[in-house]
Amino acid sequence: MTVLKPSYLRVRRRAEEALQNLTQPPVDVMAVAARLGAEVRPFDLSADVSGILYREGDRRVIVVNQHHSVVRQRFTIAHEIGHLALHKGEAVHVDEKFPIYFRDGRSTTAENVLEIEANAFAANLLMPADWLRADLDSMRIDFSDDEALVRLADRYQVSTQAMALRLASLALI
């Protein structure tokens, strides 16, 4: 039996391609979705559903839970763009309870490779490593100050949890 593993290099490259000419945060996820031929629709979804990717022929629709916070919606849209850019085949993909899988115990066992890759894509798209390194160099952020993490998360329009996970995964904190 072949064990599938997330392809982080492929994920990073696809996220870089999706960024195209964008050079600073926050990433306009609506524009990225539109460039990939997807329309984004906020919708009244149940609390345990973050997003849905629907594909049929040339039609691509990303549905996002309108009751979630703006930063959560942005991550969900980026996650669904990741499925669109990385994974072929599924006509409808529903993300329920939307756990975030970075490199942890579950991700190393490759239990849910598609979700791991979509989350990694979202992190790379919303918080590109080069941008973060440049910001950390220029802003001289002291992470002993909790407000510094909040300011950086606000700049990228992501949650502080997503920012902390991204910085840790890049070994920047």
> Mean pLDDT in the chain?
86
Q: Mean pLDDT throughout 78-105?
A: 67
Place of tokens 């529903």: 94
Average pLDDT over residues 49-63: 91
Q: List the domains of the chain with CATH numbers.
A: 8-127 (1.10.10.2910)
**Mean pLDDT, to the nearest integer, of 161-171?**
94
**CB contact at 8 A, 81 and 33:** yes
CB atoms within 10 A of CB 41: 12
Instruction: Provide the residue count of the chain.
Output: 173
pLDDT-derived band of residue 2, with 50, 70 and 90 as boundaries?
low
Query: How much is the average pLDDT of 19-30?
Result: 95
What does the alpha-carbon distance between residue 141 and residue 79 come to, in Å, rounded to a whole number?
A: 28
The confidence score (pLDDT) of residue 163 equals 95
Examine the pLDDT at 56 and tell me if it is beyond 90. Answer: no
